[in-house]
Amino acid sequence: MDIWSVLILISIAHSIFVVILVATQGSSFSGSRNWLLGILMTLIWFQVEFLSIRWPINLPVYFVYGTRYGAWLVLGPLVYHYIRSVAGRKFNRSDAWHFLPFGVAMLLPVFLSGEELSFRQMHYGMLTPFDHRPDQVTLFQYFYTMVFVGQFVHLGYYIQESRLLLVSYHNHLRQEISSFQESYRWLNIFLVGIAIIMITVATFIVFLFYTGLYRRHFDYMYVLPITVLVYLLSYRLYNTKWDNISLSSRYSKSGLKDQQRDQIKAQLHSVLKENRLYLNKQFRLDDLAKATDFKSHHISEVLNSDMNITFFDLVNQYRIEEAKRLMEHYPNYTLLQIAYESGFNNKTSFVNSFKKFENRTPSNYFKMINA
């Protein structure tokens, strides 16, 4: 027992606490909650396995050693299906093939004897055939070492697919909502965190291959980022209610006539400007449809096809104009006050939108008008 073991134990205890928090959420979270639970339990598994290596524990069931026999093959599919669930897509039986490589990699060692995998490969990790020791290594042992390396390529593929899915989800959200929660930004940070873990492990592998030098404390290159990622998950994503989207991108069969399109465009600006609906931080496309008596998918069609703008940007344009008015009339206001007063639900969205439409930051604009 040393300080590093104590830190890992604390991290494991905290991770278990987070799992309890996630597991006790309401049924409305069941989709994304279950995938988040799977991710957290996998990360706990990695930490427990690493601690068991540091301690003199010899478990006869070899497949429990997660980082040795392909457990990273499950993390990518879990992350991918978590993002899918956030985007409102359900898991079908045909999606189970995503977990087939993990099942094969984890169950195969159960049926192998010590002759198929070397003693050091069983007890010290799958990379030992590359440590430049004079042991005779079989073709199968090399193959299984390649499984260890390949699982990080596999993880990289799923991170990229998850990122593309998240971008698509954000683009669809822009058609229906006017404000993003902070949690959406943390979803991106979450994917970056997974990528950092993958990169640190890959760096460790390359270093080991080229130098043959291994020290046990090198493993902290991936154990410590895992700990940070667990904290990120626990404080930012575990209790988030994600927005449901119902937008269809097929407008060709809507049958809208030119006169109807002109009516929609005219009434949109009239309603938004006179009623100041954009000040509602939770303003959605459905709310605009109720205020104009037009169908939401017709409004979305006109915005995208005729006006070349998303609902998100349309509303935020009005909010930016309101923010500029507040800056001119209330120079004693803080930027955070102006952001909330003009309809934004956080300062980050306010700054990003201001820079997009005004090509300058709010603070620079504030200084300019005061000067």
52-67 residue pLDDT tens: 766 655 555 555 555 5
In whole angstroms, give the CA distance from residue 183 to residue 163: 15
Distances (CA, A) of 123 to 11, 29, 136, 146: 24, 40, 17, 17
Global confidence as pTM: 0.77
- CATH code of 98's domain: 1.20.1070
pLDDT above 50 (res 42): yes
pLDDT-based confidence at residue 252 (cuts at 50, 70, 90): very low
Query: What average pLDDT does the segment 346-368 reach?
Result: 89
Q: What share of the chain is helix, strand, coil (3-state, %, to 5)?
A: 70, 0, 25
Check whether 27 has a pLDDT greater than 70.
no
- Residue 206: predicted pLDDT: 72
What's the pLDDT score for residue 117?
60
* pLDDT for residue 239 is more than 80: no
The reported pLDDT for the residue numbered 142 is 73
Statement to judge: residues 205 and 281 lie in one domain: no
**Domain assignment of residue 245, yes or no:** no
Instruction: For residues 74-88, give the mean pLDDT.
Output: 89
Within the chain, how many helices (H) and strands (E) appear? 15, 0
- 215 and 269 both lie in a single domain: no
Residue 334: inside a domain: yes
The mean pLDDT value of the chain amounts to 78
Domain total in the chain: 2
> What pLDDT shows up at residue 249?
47
Tokens of 214: 């291994």
User: Are residues 201 and 53 part of one domain?
Assistant: yes
Range of the domain at 120: 3-236
Confidence check: pLDDT of 324 > 90: yes
Span 311-322, pLDDT tens digits: 889 999 999 999
